[in-house]
Every structure is written in C-alpha cells, then in structure tokens.
Chain A
Amino acid sequence: MSVAAQAVEGSIATGAIYGLVGSGFAVIFRATKVLSFTQSGFMLVGAFTFYDIITVWKLGFLLAILISAAAVAALSALVYFFVFARVASSAAFATSIATIGLAGVFQAIIAIKFGTTPLTLPLVVSSHSYKFLGVFVPTVDIISTVIALIGFALLLMVLRFTPVGRRMEAVADNAPLAVHLGVSAARTSTAAWALAGATAAVAGSIFSLRTFVVDPAGTSNLAMVAFPAIILAGMDSVGGVLLGGLIFAGVQNFVYIVWGEQWVTIASFVMMLALLGVRPSGFFGTPDAVRL
C-alpha cells in the first residue's frame, strides 16, 4: 500500500468534512457579513444530539443525523432571532466577537449536561474496509464523505433554486437594493443561520462518526482547524469551500508525509497568510471593489 495514495483517500474524507464546516461559515457571512464562531458551538450541540439519539433513543445513524440537523437548525434560527437580530445594527466585527462568547456558552452547557470526558460511539457503521487500487477505503469514510457531499449539494440547491435561497443570494449581492425591493433582511438572515446550523450539526455528527468518539474539545476545535480552508476558498464562497477543504486536507497530509507532524500546523497557517497576502478574498471569494 502506498502511503501517499492512502493519504489521498484520507484527504478526501477529511476535506469533505472541512468543506461542510466551511459552508456554514460562508452562508452566514454572505447573508450578514458576520463571521460566526458560534458554528463551533453548533457543531458540538449537533454531535452530542447525534450521540444521544443513537445511545438513548437507539435510532440509526442516518436518522440521528437528520434529527440532529433539524434540531440545531431550529436552535440556530432561534439564536439569531432572539440574540443576534437585536445586535445586527452594530458593527459586524462586534457581532463576530459576540458569537465567540455564545460558542463558549454552548460548550459550557454541553459540559454541564455530558461532562468533559469524550464519549465513545457504539459501532453503528461496519468496520469493514474496501481495497481499491491498493488503498484501504473504510466504510465509515465512504459514508461520511457521501453524507458531506449530499449535505453540500442540498445546501447549494437551496441557495440556487428556492425562493429563500434566491433572497439570500440577493442580499449577498446587494443588501440595500434587496431590502429596497422588499426582501426582509431579518427573515433572510434567520434562514441563513438555520441552514448554517444544520450544516454544523451534520459536520459535527459525521466527524464523530469517523473518529468513533464524541469529543467536546475535538469537535469544537474542528471549526478552528478547518479555518484555513475557508480563507483559502474565500469567506463568501459557499461552493468554493468544498474545494478549499479538499486542498487544505491534502496539504496537511502532504506536509505530514514529507516533513512530519510538527510542520503541519505551521505550514497550514503559513499557507493561509501567504494567500491572504496575494489574494485577500481567497480563490473563489468576491473581491471588494472600490470605484475611485
């Protein structure tokens, strides 16, 4: 088995999860210009809801992911409606800072309810691996990648083909004009938060599925680990973050193989900073053009 070929398999599975994590950030950023760090809290809530449904309700993992996504979407919409809609008039920067605080609140609530000990998931997916061109492809990697891609496709379809999605696109393209034409910014933002909440819950759930563990620290940390992927794609490019996630996961594994683990974090953030230097809006983001 070639280590490099196996790394490609792992990069696809990890990159798809990074992409899904990033899509939630991008959806909210497009609709509200706010970088919402609450996504890490929603991933945590989603992962633990997923765990509870599997272990307490004894439902299958697919149903557990769907219920978790629906529950966190509702929670996310409520959070926007009752908290952030009230502070939306303030600077986006201040709101972003407030989202960090809210993520901390969710972490604290999860710690009170479930403790700080990582919980092991029961084996809900076969541990069998398929061998393809000398590469082991675990069943769980296939399932998590397919779920991530389906989630991603559904998100893009909602944005492209539904009225609420088109309203979100309108606000993202030109918010004052969209509002002038009768689009409710509050409703659009609430819908964006709900969609982002759902993606976070799915990402948290499949990350747990893939690692066999629901880890409070690891799950909320995933949002930060995936952040360079979002910068790589561009903050407002929902479609681009999937590619950003795949590239970023590939770079991480490449660096590990060539230079070792100690260079992975350094290389990731150097890549992010270098890109910001030459292309601040990322590969697929919309550059802010100013007419002089």
Chain B
Amino acid sequence: MGNRTFRAGVMVASAAILMAAWVPSISSGATAPAKAYTWGINAELSGPVSYYGTQIQTGLKAFVKAANANVGKKGHKTNLVALDNQASGSQAATNQTQLITSNHAIGTFGNVLSSDCQAATGITARYKVPMACLSVNTPNPWVYDLGDNNGTSTSADLAAAAKVSGLSNPKIAVLVINTLTDITMASDLSIAAAAAGDSVVSNQQLSLSATDFTVPVANIVAAKPDVIVMSALGTQLVTIQQQLASSGVTVPILFVDGSTNMPQVVSLPSTVTNVYPMFGATPLIQPNSTDKYVKAYIKALKGVGVVPSLVSLNGSVANVYLSAYAFSLAQAKCGSQCTGPKMQSLLDQTKFSLGALVSNYSFTPTNHDPFSKWYVYHLTAGQHFTLVGTYVARQ
C-alpha cells in the first residue's frame, strides 16, 4: 500500500471517527441539554404487577415534565430512562447496572416487588446511587421507600381491627401475598397480635399468580374470624371478597394495599360494605380538592394526559410524585450531577409537608420510610370513602 493510499485511508478513518463522535452528540443534544440530570425507572412494566410499574412511570413523567417546564432555559432539566425489569430479580439487577453505568442515572425509582428491590440493592449500594423502591424489605442506606410500607402497618392493623369489629380483642385472619414485605408484615402482625391479646386464627399466603382461591377462602370460613387483614393484588381482593360473601362471611376486611389498588377497590359492587381500604402514604386524594398542592399535582398529571379521578390520583402515582419531589429538593441543594454520599446525606435530611397531599414526609439516616401515618377508610356505595381513623405508622 502506497503512502498516498495510506494517508487517504487515515483521513477516511478519522472522518468516520469524527462522524461517529458527532452523531450521538447531536442526537443526545436534541433531547437532553449537556447538564441534564438523568433519572432511571427500573420497574415492572410487564408481567403480573405491571399496573403498579406503569403507575410509577406515569407519576414520574408527570413530575419531570412539570419540573422541566419550570426550570427555564438555564436550569438543569431532567431526563427519564425507563427499563422494564419484567418482575425478575436478575433483570432488576441488570437494569440497575445499565441505568447507573450506561445512562449515568443519579437516582432511580421503581421496583414494585421487594424481591426485585433487593436484587438491585447491591448494585445501587456499590455505585452509591440512591434508589427508591415501592416495596422495601431489607433496609439499606442507599434504598428509600417510595410507597406505603406494609411493614409499618402492624399497630394500625390491630387498632383498626378492634375499631371496625367493635371488639377489644378480635379474632384476626391474615391473608397476604408471598412477597418478602408481606411475609414479614404477616409475621410481625402475629407477634404483635399475641402481645396485644388478640388471636390470629388463620395466617395464609397467596401466590401472585394464584388461579384458585378455594382453599384460602375455606380456611378463613372455617376459622370464623371477626376481621380479616389482607394484603394482596386488587384482583385478588375482588375475587376473595366475592367468594367469602357467597360463603356467608361478611366480616370487615382491612385491605392494607388500598391506595395502590384503587381501580379494583372502587369497582367493587356498590352493595359491598365490608371493605376498609388502608392508605399508608397519602390520605385519599380527591379530584375536586381545593388544596394548592393537590391542584399542582393534578395539573402535573393532566400534563401527561391523565384524567383526574379517584383511581388516577391515588396510589403509586402520588407516591412516586412525592419521592421525585424529595429527590429534586436534595438534588437542588447538592448541585449538578451530584450523587453519592453527599446526595445521600442531603436526602437523609429531607423533610417537608405539602398541604393535603402529605404531612411530615421525612427521611433520616436511620429511617428511609418517609410516611408517618396510616389512614383507614370505610368504602360504601361503590366510591364513597369515610375516614375511620388515622393511625401512627411504626416499624
């Protein structure tokens, strides 16, 4: 090969390298300013709990779009990168790695299942990037609770069980799905009930993919409880409530996952009067609220095409909105592209109240569950909610 040919080859190669370097910078520049933050969504966007994952995606999109509209031209905008963990722990870990190392996410949100959160925890701790999970079973300095923590419901469950049953020491049937968080909750509830003089007459688990509820329902019928404490998918609530009713069991059902299963809760037949949805993060958010923070929240959701209703405003959408608010507060103090221990330290000092949306939302270095209360409602006539009581959330 002659010198001229060699030089021509080098020039072509150099041009190709420059082109390669230039093209991504143009394409990323079109969607993201140079100093934009990146937040990751690592959630169950497909599979049996995809409803909750997509709710997280919607709430985060709403917050980010509203926030980006307010930062002006010189401010730091936020990009969102969403990856589906397919309700698989290994995929959750892979996604977490990709979001942090490839997409340079400085915070991530999602993980409906505590097992998926746990699988991603090692990765996020290794890279020192804070992660908000909907279900957290094992506390970690880098993991923040995004939603209702069923593990803090124990004392509220017992107090509400006494109130709705009208008995000081009711017989309780416990029915939970077989996630790490719920298994822990059921275990804690049994211990606390025994200490309080209550009796747990049935303690059962359900699979997420269960197709037949005959045996758990039969066990509850045979145990003759005064009240049922249930944490399950909304679809399972509908089926089990109906099956129990047709077996003559209409004792109160405290539904610990009330806020995150609003579509099924509000679609129960209007004749159903024994369901008590519990809200462990925000109180019930009404579409006609006049509170300025609720109005801002509704406006943000409308910005991404959400039509305000009891279903669309409550649950994981609201929870992740608050989580994003907390992260953005810490981010604003921390500075551009800040993450790691400094971001963690600022997050751990986060404390705010947003009117009727949430009160006393706070993280501390030893407590990453930001919510302090459980709200128990009585559902009647389809969509009518009456507050039964407000109870302190305890670990």
Cα(A257)–Cα(B268), bound, Å: 29
Question: Is B215 at the interface (CB under 8 A from chain A)?
Answer: yes
Q: Is chain A's interface secondary structure helix, strand, loop, or mixed overall?
A: helix
Cα(A139)–Cα(B213), bound, Å: 16
* Given A117-B263, A136-B246, A261 and B206 contact (CB-CB distance below 8 Å): yes
Closest residue of B by beta carbon distance from A107: B46
CB distance from B312 to the nearest CB of A (A): 10
Q: Are B263 and A118 in contact (CB under 8 A)?
A: yes
Interface residues of B in 199-244 (CB under 8 A from A): 204-207, 209-219, 221-222, 233-235, 238-239, 242-243
Note all chain B residues with C-beta closer than 8 A to A75. none
Cα(A218)–Cα(B247), bound, Å: 24
Note all chain B residues with C-beta closer than 8 A to A117. 51, 263
B207 interface neighbour in A14, A119, A129, A265, Cβ under 8 Å:
A265
* Given A3-B215, A10-B214, A221 and B209 contact (CB-CB distance below 8 Å): yes
Q: Are A260 and B221 in contact (CB under 8 A)?
A: no
A118 interface neighbour in B209, B216, B245, B264, Cβ under 8 Å:
B264
CB distance from B219 to the nearest CB of A (A): 6
Question: Is A217 at the interface (CB under 8 A from chain B)?
Answer: yes
Q: Are B239 and A212 in contact (CB under 8 A)?
A: yes
Question: Is A95 at the interface (CB under 8 A from chain B)?
Answer: no
Interface residues of A in 84-141 (CB under 8 A from B): 116-120, 122-123, 127-129, 136, 138-140
Note all chain A residues with C-beta closer than 8 A to B184. none
Query: Hey, what's the 0/1 contact readout for A1-33 against B, CB within 8 Å counting as 1?
Result: 111001101110110010000000000000000
* Given A14-B214, A225-B211, A261-B206, A129 and B246 contact (CB-CB distance below 8 Å): yes
Cα(A42)–Cα(B216), bound, Å: 29
Query: Hey, what's the 0/1 contact readout for A240-256 against B, CB within 8 Å counting as 1?
Result: 00000000010011001
* Given A3-B222, A207-B211, A213 and B238 contact (CB-CB distance below 8 Å): yes
Q: Are A138 and B243 in contact (CB under 8 A)?
A: yes
Cross-chain pair count, CB within 8 angstroms:
115
Cα(A120)–Cα(B268), bound, Å: 8
Q: Are B239 and A213 in contact (CB under 8 A)?
A: yes
Question: Is A174 at the interface (CB under 8 A from chain B)?
Answer: no
- Interface size of B in residues (CB-CB distance below 8 Å): 40
CB distance from B182 to the nearest CB of A (A): 12
Closest residue of A by beta carbon distance from B183: A262
Q: Are B235 and A215 in contact (CB under 8 A)?
A: yes
Cα(A172)–Cα(B178), bound, Å: 43
Cα(A221)–Cα(B209), bound, Å: 7
Q: Are A211 and B238 in contact (CB under 8 A)?
A: yes
Q: Are B219 and A211 in contact (CB under 8 A)?
A: no
A9 interface neighbour in B214, B239, B245, Cβ under 8 Å:
B214
* Given A211-B235, A213-B238, A261-B205, A116 and B50 contact (CB-CB distance below 8 Å): yes
Question: Is A67 at the interface (CB under 8 A from chain B)?
Answer: no
Q: Are A225 and B235 in contact (CB under 8 A)?
A: no
Note all chain B residues with C-beta closer than 8 A to A136. 221, 246-248
Cα(A222)–Cα(B216), bound, Å: 19
Q: Are B211 and A222 in contact (CB under 8 A)?
A: yes
Note all chain B residues with C-beta closer than 8 A to A123. 269
Note all chain B residues with C-beta closer than 8 A to A79. none
Interface residues of B in 105-131 (CB under 8 A from A): none
Q: Are A7 and B214 in contact (CB under 8 A)?
A: yes
Note all chain A residues with C-beta closer than 8 A to B247. 1, 129, 136, 138
Question: Is A264 at the interface (CB under 8 A from chain B)?
Answer: yes
CB distance from A207 to the nearest CB of B (A): 7
Q: Are A264 and B207 in contact (CB under 8 A)?
A: yes
Note all chain A residues with C-beta closer than 8 A to B205. 260-262
Query: Hey, what's the 0/1 contact readout for B253-295 against A, CB within 8 Å counting as 1?
Result: 0000000000110011100000000000000000000000000
Question: Is B341 at the interface (CB under 8 A from chain A)?
Answer: no
Note all chain B residues with C-beta closer than 8 A to A6. 214-215, 217-218, 221
Q: A253-B212, A260-B205 are in contact. List 6 more A-B contacts (CB 8 A).
A: A6-B214, A7-B215, A7-B218, A14-B211, A127-B245, A261-B178
Binding site for B on A (CB under 8 A): 1-3, 6-7, 9-11, 13-14, 17, 116-120, 122-123, 127-129, 136, 138-140, 207, 210-213, 215-218, 221-222, 225, 249, 252-253, 256-257, 260-262, 264-265
What are the 6 tightest A-B residue pairs by CB atom distance, in nearest-first order?
A10-B214, A120-B267, A6-B218, A14-B212, A129-B246, A217-B48
